[in-house]
Homo-oligomer: A and B are copies of this chain.
């Protein structure tokens, strides 16, 4: 595990430079927009989704560098969703990844447009990437999977459910469904995209999808837990905000202890899927473990 965490750190460092170079360099992008996009994209963060992409490559024994565009595109989409979620008309958050949110550092209009431009950038990268273009049929499958994961029956739909749930009591099933759309779908395609790229046998794609489902939900439950138990200094974002915003959470529904137990059960179900792969599942195992053993 120690070795896997060091491996993860190295991958993350390399990823940061790939991500920075994916930002638009052309002179047609207005400076203020470029700055807002860079400000939010390069603010750090766990980079869990791109690390899942690379970890699945390892497990499938394919060159992880071929999925660089996929890793960047998914992190770019995740970043755009954070910018929009933080807006005054949504969660109205002032702190994200340890610094002012995009609309606080710039303004609301620029933040909306930076999010919009980041979404477009993600698909531009996926369509232009050389490694993907060599497998155009797989490329279309991956673009489709990512677009579906972030649209009305994925991330954007989940945010609508999240906002609608404020101040209400919803069932565990409804809360789970909300998280599956809001964060689960994009996490799942992160784990599954390398299998689409490599055209592996369906059983391995299935395993990666179940793994992604479980890790996604475990991660979200732990996010809810950290919102209760953590501090802003630890997590880099406002805490105790779920209660303040009257959002339904797993700790609110199940209590802290049962929430932790549920997150651990999901981690174990994810780990149980890691068999029959041609490559090294160490990084996938590490990410499932880290999801429920972290301070931020």
Contact = CB atoms under 8 A, between A and B. Distances in A.
A117 interface: yes
Contacts of A115: 116
A294 interface: no
A130 B71 CA distance: 26
A213 B256 CA distance: 60
Given A161-B30, A163-B109, A137 B133 contact: yes
Interface of A: 24, 26, 28-30, 32-34, 37, 80-81, 84, 87, 89-90, 107-110, 112-113, 115-117, 119-121, 123-124, 126-128, 132-133, 136-137, 139-141, 143-144, 147-148, 150-157, 159-161, 163-164, 181
22 contacts: A28-B157, A30-B157, A32-B160, A37-B152, A84-B112, A110-B160, A113-B156, A113-B159, A116-B119, A117-B156, A119-B119, A120-B150, A120-B151, A120-B154, A120-B156, A121-B151, A124-B151, A127-B141, A127-B144, A136-B137, A136-B140, A143-B143
Given A30-B157, A89-B112, 13 more contacts: A26-B153, A28-B157, A29-B157, A90-B112, A109-B163, A117-B156, A119-B120, A121-B147, A123-B123, A127-B140, A128-B144, A133-B140, A139-B140
